[in-house]
């Protein structure tokens, strides 16, 4: 009798372990993409203080594309300058932010098909500015600003003729210094600055209407270099959300 009871207890324990292993296996097989997004790129990506979550056009796009590819998107707030390092060090699986596809970036990461076209730089000055700036050449010898880690910062550095280039974590910080007269102009994402000026977020600054853009490109999702399987899955999903009209609805929702 004792031997039978022992065998029954052993069998029950084995069943529990198998059931537990099944649960663990199911959890482990759940496909979740860790998606990096910034909190300062209104309306593409930003922190909604009411819900304490990252929202925006690129966040909605990440969720829609991930779902179409059979994944779930887990949005992780990341400073813009840390997005690519976080991706290459396996802390993220995908970047979904207002990040232009460039040849320089393509050396270290891979880009999906575009989700937003004709994205580029804008020139921000004080509302009291009377100089007629049309190109960056007109700012020789001036103090200019750019967001750290952006293609615009690299663009300014390559010019080599500014008195000083100051970097900022956000466009809002750069615009604040500009309004206070600490810099003469700022270069950043034109769609983001235009939207924030329209919403009244950026004070005492304006976009130069006749400025000639120098860094125009497409916005894509970003994956690790050589992650071809994921890139193909995302490209197929992007094609689906474009064909269904869902991507157009997302863009329209955010007034871009």
Dump the DSSP string for 27-81: HHH--EEEEEE-SEETTTEEEETTTTEEESHHHHHHHHHHHHTT-EEEEEE--GG
Tell me, yes or no, whether 113 lies in a domain. yes
CATH number at residue 164: 3.40.190.10
Q: Is 50 exceeded by the pLDDT of residue 19?
A: no
Q: What is the DSSP letter of 214?
A: S
Q: How far apart are CA 12 and CA 180, in angstroms?
A: 73
- Domain final residue pick, 169, 186, 207: 207
pLDDT for residue 7 is more than 50: no
> Quick check: is 3 in a domain?
no
5, part of any domain: no
pLDDT of residue 20: 42
Instruction: Decide if 33 contacts 93 (C-beta within 8 A).
Output: yes
Shared domain for 167 and 191, answered yes or no, is: yes
Quick check: 23 and 61 in contact, CB under 8 A? Answer: no
Q: At 61, is the pLDDT very low, low, confident or very high (cuts 50, 70, 90)?
A: very high
Number of domains in the chain: 2
**What pLDDT, on a 0 to 100 scale, did the predictor assign at position 22?**
39
Could you give the CA distance from residue 174 to residue 186 in angstroms, rounded to a whole number?
7
Tokens at 94, concatenated: 């995908």
pLDDT band at 13 (very low <50, low <70, confident <90, very high): very low
Do 187 and 228 belong to one domain?
no
Mean pLDDT of 36-65: 95
Decide if pLDDT at 33 tops 50. Answer: yes
Distance CA 121, CA 212 (A): 9
The H-assigned helical ranges of 126-227 are 151-159, 171-179, 190-198
76 touches 116 (CB < 8 A): no
Domain annotation covers residue 77: yes
Percentage of the chain beyond pLDDT 90 is 85
Provide the pLDDT for residue 152. Answer: 96
Nearest residue to 66 (alpha-carbon basis) of 235, 254, 224: 235
Domain that holds residue 65: 29-117+219-253
Whether residues 82 and 148 fall in one domain: no
Considering the domain boundaries, does residue 19 fall inside one?
Answer: no
In the chain, the percentage of residues whose pLDDT exceeds 70 is 88
pLDDT digits (tens, 9 = 90+) for 182-205: 999 999 999 999 999 999 999 999
CB atoms inside a 10 Å sphere around CB 72: 12
How sure is the predictor about 255, in pLDDT bands with cuts at 50, 70 and 90? confident
Residue 17 is assigned to a structural domain of this protein: no
Please give the DSSP secondary-structure letter assigned to residue 100: B
Is 176 in the same domain as 246? Answer: no
Q: Is the pLDDT of residue 228 over 50?
A: yes
Same domain, 156 and 188: yes
* Domain presence at residue 42: yes
**82 lies in the same domain as 202:** no
Residues 75 and 53 sit within 8 Å (Cβ to Cβ): yes
Residue 7 lies in a domain: no
The pLDDT of residue 248 is above 50: yes
Mean pLDDT estimate for the chain: 89
Look at residue 118 in the predicted model and tell me its pLDDT: 80
At 128-174, the pLDDT tens digits run 999 989 999 999 999 999 999 999 999 999 999 999 999 999 999 99
CB of 174 closer than 8 Å to CB of 146: yes
| pLDDT tier for residue 15 given thresholds of 50, 70 and 90 | very low
Q: How far apart are CA 252 and CA 247, in angstroms?
A: 9
Same domain, 35 and 111: yes
pTM for the model stands at: 0.77
Residues ≥6 apart with Cβ < 8 Å to 20: none
Same domain flag for 130 and 199: yes
pLDDT digits (tens, 9 = 90+) for 78-108: 999 999 999 999 999 999 999 999 999 999 9
Same domain for 33 and 148, yes or no, is: no
Do both 188 and 227 map to the same domain? no
Q: What is the pLDDT of residue 256?
A: 81
Residues 98 and 166 both lie in one domain: no
- Quote the pLDDT of residue 214: 94
What pLDDT, on a 0 to 100 scale, did the predictor assign at position 81?
A: 94
> 189 and 249: one domain?
no
């Amino acid at each position: 009798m004792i031997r039978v009871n022992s065998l029954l207890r052993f069998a029950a324990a084995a069943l529990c372990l198998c059931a537990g292993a099944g649960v663990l296996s199911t959890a482990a097989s759940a496909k979740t993409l860790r998606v990096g997004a910034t909190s300062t790129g209104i309306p593409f990506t930003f922190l909604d203080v009411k819900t304490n979550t990252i929202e925006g056009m690129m966040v909605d796009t990440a969720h829609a594309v991930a779902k179409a590819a059979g994944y779930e998107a887990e949005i992780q707030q990341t400073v813009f300058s840390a997005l690519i390092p976080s991706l290459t060090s396996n802390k993220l699986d995908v970047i979904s932010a207002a990040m232009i596809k460039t040849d320089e970036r393509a050396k270290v990461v891979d880009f999906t098909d575009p989700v937003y076209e004709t994205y580029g730089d804008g020139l921000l000055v004080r509302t009291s500015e009377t100089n007629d700036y049309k190109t960056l050449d007109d700012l020789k010898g001036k103090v200019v600003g750019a967001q750290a880690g952006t293609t615009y910062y690299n663009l300014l550095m390559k010019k080599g003729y500014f008195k000083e280039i100051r970097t900022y974590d956000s466009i809002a910080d750069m615009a604040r210094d500009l309004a206070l007269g600490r810099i003469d102009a700022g270069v950043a994402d034109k769609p983001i600055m235009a939207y924030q000026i329209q919403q009244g977020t950026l004070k005492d600054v304006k976009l130069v209407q006749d400025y000639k853009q120098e860094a125009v490109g497409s916005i894509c999702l970003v994956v690790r270099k050589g992650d071809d399987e994921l890139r193909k899955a995302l490209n197929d999903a992007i094609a689906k959300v474009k064909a269904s009209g869902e991507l157009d609805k997302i863009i329209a929702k955010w007034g871009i």
